[in-house]
Amino acid sequence: MSVGGHLVCIGLAVSATGLLCNLLLPEAMPSARAIASSSLMGFCWAAGTGCLMFALLRYQAPLAKLVPLYNMNTLVTVALALVIFAEWKQTNPLLLLLGSILIMLGGVLVSVA
């Protein structure tokens, strides 16, 4: 399957799940800011997924080596949450740094395996 076809199928499945959740868990209409934020998140996620599929299809990169690197998005989320939601006030910086180092080390170890 092509990268675009893969993303379209994923998008349809995610949209269907969202519609189902909207029916089962109705809430008020989101604000324009919330819609923009969710759309940006979806675009970034889809771009990352597309790059992963591209690496798999074009370069035959082993999935076992790509997934740990792909899942390092946790570090981006942590960094953004620290700044945007001021979570730096509530976290233990030493444990956060140690966890981040372990995530990076794990990704590097798996990618060179």
- Amino acid of residue 18: G
Mean pLDDT to the nearest integer, 19-28: 91
Residue-wise pLDDT tens digits, 48-87: 889 888 988 899 988 887 877 777 788 888 888 888 888 8
Q: What is the CA angle 97-38-50, rounded to 5? A: 75
The domains of the chain are located at 1-61, 62-113
pTM, rounded to two decimals: 0.68
Structural tokens at position 41? 């998140």
Residue-wise pLDDT tens digits, 28-39: 888 998 899 889
Task: Give the C-alpha separation, 22 to 16, whole Å.
Answer: 10
- The single-letter DSSP state of residue 90 is T
